[in-house]
Amino acid sequence: MSLGEKYGAGSSIDTCALFFFACLKCLNNDGTLGLLLPEAFFNIAAFEDARKKALSLSIIRLIEYGRVFNGLLTKAQGIVIEKKSAEKTSVIECCNAEIAFIRDKKSFESNPKSILNLNCDEHDSEILSYLFSLPHVTLEEQADWGLGIVTGNNKKFIRNKNDDNCIPVFRGSDLIEGIFRKPSNFIPKDLSLYQQVAPVTLYLAKKKLIYKFISSKLSFAYDDQQRYVLNSANIVIPHDTFPVPMKLMAQLLNSDFMNWIFNRVFCTHKVLRKDIERLPIYSQKLENMVEFDEEAYLDSLSLVKIKDGTYRIKR
């Protein structure tokens, strides 16, 4: 029997998840548990089973502590739980250094992967619940994905000048507002030299999207020049049956609106495939667009952008 099976952790086998389930197993009914955990526990897919378990109980409080440990870039967050079944109408107190507010438990349950996005206040959570309730499509199971090349030794292989034996490669930092910089990195053509390479057909696709991986912001670019990318950038190719043209998808994903959703739900410093796959895309609202028009898109969703960069539902 695996540790995950022993403690009822399901697919959550990270030590934080196992410790969470072990604590619950030791806790008496109606007892209270408080844990300080890495930010990943609250928003990464590997901890989804643990979050669902927490939401089945009575969560009293979620706390944002920020970067409290010297030498660690990871933020720390806290969760306080009572070991008793949650009521349908229960609320959760969310706290950070500046403010505390109350959110309905349902607003967390409706999030993709049951993410506990305590950075999102009650107003924003209302907008998100509204958006995810509307008919939409996602990229899940509707696209091919590829990782950028991992050379295994950048100093050895990456050059700043081109020659006949090299090909240009692009980093995530070469994507700026949907446009590629001129190539400044080159590697030998022989792809067998490298530690990790996606299927060559992905790099050589006639059309594809390339996106920055290490980023807290969505940054996509449309590529029709068969560009190769290093591992700070990745590839997604929506299937031919996907209802939104690829150029339009790049513009949509770069928009302030999609970045607002991404930040309020996932709030990570890496743009992960599983997060992109859960972004809501209202394809029926894009049918007549050649170039993305954010104002028209918002209007079709009965939303208005307000001065603080958030949104309001038109009543």
pLDDT score, position 46? 85
Is 101 a residue whose pLDDT tops 80? yes
Domains (range + CATH), the chain? 3-119 (3.40.50.150), 143-313 (3.90.220.10)
pLDDT score, position 11? 61
Q: Give mean pLDDT, residues 52-71.
A: 91
Is 111 a residue whose pLDDT tops 80? yes
Q: Give pTM, 2 decimals.
A: 0.89
Is 91 a residue whose pLDDT tops 90? yes
Question: Which among 56-60, 94-98, 120-124 has the top mean pLDDT?
Answer: 56-60
The residue ranking higher by pLDDT, 14 or 50, is 50
pLDDT score, position 102? 93
% residues pLDDT > 70 (the chain): 96
Give the pLDDT band (50/70/90) at residue 308: confident
pLDDT score, position 72? 75
pLDDT tens across 219-278, in order? 999 999 999 999 999 999 999 999 999 999 999 999 999 999 999 999 888 999 999 999
- Non-local (6+) Cβ contacts of 220 within 8 A are 175, 178, 209, 210, 211, 212, 249, 250, 253, 254
- Using left for φ > 0, alpha for ψ between -120 and 50, and beta otherwise, residue 76 falls in beta
Of 2, 300, 246, give the one whose Cα is nearest residue 136.
300
pLDDT tens across 63-81, in order? 999 888 887 778 899 999 9
The pair of structure tokens assigned to 304 is 């208005």
pLDDT score, position 237? 98
pLDDT score, position 4? 63
Is 97 a residue whose pLDDT tops 80? no
Is 114 a residue whose pLDDT tops 80? yes
The pair of structure tokens assigned to 93 is 């107190």
Cross-sheet strand order for the sheet of 185-188: 185-188, 166-170, 228-229
CA 95 to chain centre: 22
Class of residue 173 by CB neighbours under 10 A (exposed 0-12, middle 13-18, buried 19+): middle
Is 87 a residue whose pLDDT tops 90? no
pLDDT score, position 67? 84
Give the pLDDT band (50/70/90) at residue 126: very high
pLDDT score, position 12? 63
Q: What pairing do the DSSP bridges indicate for beta strands 32-38 and 76-85?
A: antiparallel
pLDDT score, position 9? 66
Is 140 a residue whose pLDDT tops 90? yes
pLDDT score, position 287? 93
The pair of structure tokens assigned to 46 is 């590997």
pLDDT score, position 286? 97
pLDDT tens across 192-224, in order? 999 999 999 999 999 999 999 999 999 999 999
pLDDT score, position 117? 94
